[in-house]
Amino acid sequence: MEFSAILNNAGFSNAELESGTLTVSSPINGQVIASLAVHSSDEAHGIIAKSKAAFSEWKLVPAPRRGELVRLLGEELRAEKENLGRLVTLECGKILQEGLGEVQEMIDICDLAVGISRQLFGLTIASERPGHSMRETWHPMGVCGIITAFNFPVAPWCWNAALALVCGDPVIWKPSEKTPLCALAVQKICDRALARFGDAPAGLIQVLIGEREAGEILTTSRNVAVVSATGSTRMGHAVGAALSARFGRCILELGGNNAMIVSPSADLEMALRAIVFSAVGTAGQRCTSLRRLIVHEDIYDALLQRLKKAYAGLPIGNPLEDGMLVGPLIDQEALANMTRALSAAKADGADVFGGEALPEAGYVHPAIAEMPAQTDIVREETFAPILYVLKYNDLDAAIALQNDVPQGLSSCIFSTDVREAEYFLSAGGSDCGIANVNIGPSGAEIGGAFGGEKDTGGGRESGSDAWRGYMRRQTNTINYSRELPLAQGIKFDI
């Protein structure tokens, strides 16, 4: 399918695609596919003011009614899955199956959020005072700013937006300047859901187009109560500092340096499939990509031989074509970072398999780097398909290796020994926010809370009780007696 057909099917007119100075290129072949208008500072503040006004109305709408809007959004996304999935592939370069899967994540979180809209529950708490009751209630927080990264240009917005909307919060989306078309296409889908809903306030769902300055306006504005930011640890430090300075709430989903431990009892065929998908999916540009493979010395040679054979046969090319498993890196900067990291690994004594740039600009063969130790470059997150491989002979040593990095997002072990598996999941095991057994570190489901510790930022999105991040907690004490006893037995007679 031609690029123009993908853009047309996503609802874009030629006028929209030629409206400004922000150049958008497809990593598939470097072709410029749009020149978009960006919002000025005054326009950005106007968007925030409009969102704040919407909050005054939306917070009073019953939560199940708010859930109806998200239900309609899920229906619209189902109808547009193919078109939006192709646009994701066109703009960020992941293979079409992954583009479609990302839209499916949006549909799934809409389904989950609709159910949550009827379960925004608090607690009933025993009071020490006779004739008193206590309870905990949750209320809408305010405007929610959402900053997303290029590698997942639509799903993380929906993880946040679906929950924020049912919790009573308007949303403002600042997408990556590398993938703004996806955000604008989703806004068109939202507009259709809003029209069907009928009585939502103006400004409930908005997109803010711009570069770093646009994100800074969101993070520094006191009219934005919550900012959820997905991106690099460096970006997260800036966002966190800005929110902290004004006591705003932040939800940070930052870098990952994810490991897999493969024990002697592992099913090697299953481990091999998980390794390849986790390490080369999205061309290694997932926050949950497998970056470190820690293999027991008894099975190291056998696994590495099979892994290199699998890597040698990887279909690499245009991600819109059937059968491709590896698409392009997002841009030349990403390729330069990969080249730099491999040079550093070789200087540390690595034996590197693959990693060569292909004749087509932006495409590269995924690399396997057998490391003598976990050096500084291994502890650094490089957003590219580099898999560092290390040996171990003791499970405690393997877990220590896994945990000895600044990031703490996702982790896994392949083992059929229940003791090893349970120990890995215990307090003595993985220090990550996600810990899996016999599946890779990527491909999280909507039902569980998503996020990690340390330099990953500590945020949680998606399932479980992540909805609480978009609401404020209130403790209520009710005196239904005719007396006024004080807590802690204090006497204060007048």
Q: Confidence band (pLDDT; 50, 70, 90) for 38?
A: very high
Question: Residue 69 above 90 pLDDT?
Answer: yes
Per-residue pLDDT at 238 = 96
Residue 172 — φ and ψ, nearest 5°? -125, 125
Neighbours of 453 (CB within 10 A): 15
Residue type at position 83: N
- Measured CA to CA in angstroms, residue 344 lies from 260, 291, 336, 349 at distances of 22, 15, 12, 9
What is the rounded distance in angstroms from the CA atom of residue 410 to the CA atom of residue 442?
7
Cα–Cα dist 27/89, whole Å: 9
Residue 110 is among the residues annotated as catalytic for this protein: no
Contacts of 36 (CB under 8 A, 6+ apart): 16, 17, 19, 20, 21, 22, 24, 180, 181, 184, 209
pLDDT band at 458 (very low <50, low <70, confident <90, very high): very high
First-to-last CA distance in the chain?
83
**Three-state SS sequence of the chain:** CCHHHHHHHCCCCHHHHECCCEEEECCCCCCEEEEECCCCHHHHHHHHHHHHHHHHHHCCCCHHHHHHHHHHHHHHHHHCHHHHHHHHHHHHCCCHHHHHHHHHHHHHHHHHHHHHCCCCCCEEECCCCCCEEEEEEEEECCCEEEECCCCCCCHHHHHHHHHHHHCCCCEEEECCCCCHHHHHHHHHHHHHHHHHHCCCCCCCEEECCCCHHHHHHHHHCCCCCEEEEECCHHHHHHHHHHHHHCCCEEEEECCCCEEEEECCCCCHHHHHHHHHHHHHHHHHCCCCCEEEEEEECCCHHHHHHHHHHHHHCCCECCCCCCCCCECCCCCHHHHHHHHHHHHHHHHCCCEEEECCECCCCCCECCEEEECCCCCHHHHCCCCCCEEEEEEECCHHHHHHHHHCCCEECEEEEECCCHHHHHHHHCCCCCCCCEEEECCCCCCCCCCCEECCEECCCCCCEECCCHHHHHEEEEEEEEECCCCCCCHHHCCCCC
Distance set, CA 457 to CA 51, 135, 147, 364, 471 (Å): 26, 31, 14, 30, 19
Retrieve residue 167's tokens: 């919790």
How far is it, in rounded angstroms, from Cα 358 to Cα 249? 44
Contact 88, 153 (CB under 8 A): yes
Q: Is 253 known to be catalytic?
A: yes
Give yes or no for a contact between 395 and 423, defined as CB atoms under 8 angstroms apart.
yes
Confidence category of residue 443, pLDDT binned at 50, 70, 90: confident
The order of strands in the sheet holding 132-140 is 123-125, 132-140, 471-479
pLDDT in tens, 15-34: 999 999 999 999 999 999 99
481 class by beta-carbon count within 10 Å (0-12 exposed, 13-18 middle, 19+ buried): exposed
Query: CA-to-CA distance for 125 and 473, rounded, in angstroms?
Result: 14
pLDDT digit string (tens) for 297-307? 999 999 999 99
For the stretch 194-246, pLDDT in tens is: 999 999 999 999 999 999 999 999 999 999 999 999 999 999 999 999 999 99
Structure tokens at 440: 């890779």
User: Once rounded to an integer, what is the mean pLDDT over residues 342-370?
Assistant: 97
Whether the predicted pLDDT of 1 surpasses 80 = no
133-142 residue pLDDT tens:
999 999 999 9
- Of 76, 105, 253, 370, the catalytic one is 253
Going by their DSSP bridges, the two strands 407-408 and 290-296 should be labelled as: unpaired
Condensed to tens digits (0 to 9), the pLDDT of residues 363-414 reads 999 999 999 999 999 999 999 999 999 999 999 999 999 999 999 999 999 9
Residue 165: partners with Cβ closer than 8 Å, 6 or more residues away: 66, 69, 70, 113, 171, 204, 205
Q: Which of 144, 158, 190, 287 is catalytic?
A: 287
Contacts for 309 with CB less than 8 Å, ≥ 6 apart:
none
Query: Which residue is associated with the tokens 């806004």?
Result: 187
